[in-house]
Amino acid sequence: MAGMRRTWFVIAGVGLAAALPAFAAEGGRHTVRLGAGYMVPTEDSSAAYDMFDYASFRFDTDADEALGASLAYEFRATPSVGIELGAGYYQPDLGVQVFVTGFDEAAAPEEFLVYDWKESLKMMPVTLGVNVHMNPAAKTDVYAGLEVAYITYDDWETVIITEIDERFRLEFENEFTWGLKAGVNVPLGKHWLFSAQLEYLDARAKVERTVVSFDDGPDPNVMAPVEAEEDELPYLEGESLDPKPFVVNVGVAYRF
């Protein structure tokens, strides 16, 4: 039995060794892709809190569609299987609305919009995945893959009161998650290709801290600069905004 397993390993190794030089001669085992991206978030989020016995308030958040850029390198371990390392940069506008609902025994509850903010949120995913190429012998290369992703978020911040520079800030946890992708490469020449790809990222965008900071100006009795004061709020902490976007990337690739 052990001898049979060794025989199969030898046969597979010889077959792979014979296939790879021909594969490299036809188009190369390395591909670099550069693309322009369009991110489309798929979900919004909402979180409600009781403020007093007679009032409550709610945070609604939603991310807008956004342009971005992507860069990827793929190594074809075999004609059908490639290992891809990629990175992207996207800056969708994130809207945050704050509603207050007042309760009155003599009337129906009324809801008021008290804040409506919109500022950009930077998302920078780095991905590592495996692509399966459906027909390596065809000129048009169609593939699909599964990936793990590490997404870095910048803080999201907006101004509440300009006179004292009061700011509302959301700090996000960077996260590991997963994604799916499918794409096509169409030859434009010996090495150059047109590349198009559809990607899904299961991005959660979990809030780590909610902070209000303000600076009412320097104290005339103190020569040293005065640092802005910060108060951490218990709201939205631990909540996930769940953008879960689809990303369309279109660009060029170079195979060598």
Domain at 136, CATH number = 2.40.160.20
Q: Give the residue-averaged pLDDT of 8-36.
A: 60
Residue 34: inside a domain, yes or no?
yes
Percent of the chain with pLDDT over 90: 60
**In total, how many domains does the chain have?**
1
Question: Per-residue confidence at 107, pLDDT binned at 50, 70, 90?
Answer: low
Question: Per-residue confidence at 82, pLDDT binned at 50, 70, 90?
Answer: very high
Residue 13: inside a domain, yes or no?
no
Closest by alpha carbon to 35, among 240, 230, 254?
Answer: 254
Mean pLDDT, rounded, of the chain:
84
Question: Per-residue confidence at 161, pLDDT binned at 50, 70, 90?
Answer: confident
Question: Is the pLDDT at 139 greater than 50, yes or no?
Answer: yes
- Distance, in Å, from the CA atom of 163 to the CA atom of 156, rounded to the nearest integer, reads 20
Question: Per-residue confidence at 23, pLDDT binned at 50, 70, 90?
Answer: very low
Q: Residue 78 belongs to what domain range?
A: 28-255
Residue 60: inside a domain, yes or no?
yes
Residue 231: inside a domain, yes or no?
yes
For residue range 209-229, list pLDDT tens digits in order.
Answer: 999 887 655 554 544 444 567
Question: Per-residue confidence at 231, pLDDT binned at 50, 70, 90?
Answer: confident
92, two tokens: 């969708």
Residue 193: inside a domain, yes or no?
yes
Pairing, β 81-90 against β 123-133:
antiparallel
For residue range 56-76, list pLDDT tens digits in order.
Answer: 888 999 999 999 999 999 999
Percent of the chain with pLDDT over 70: 79
Q: What is the DSSP string of 63-114?
A: EPPEEEEEEEEEEESSSSEEEEEEEEEE--EEEEEEEEEEEETTEEEEEEEE
- Distance, in Å, from the CA atom of 89 to the CA atom of 139, rounded to the nearest integer, reads 30
- Give residue 100's pLDDT: 87
For residue range 170-209, list pLDDT tens digits in order.
Answer: 999 999 999 999 999 999 999 999 999 999 999 999 999 9
Question: Are 61 and 43 a contacting pair, CB within 8 Å?
Answer: no
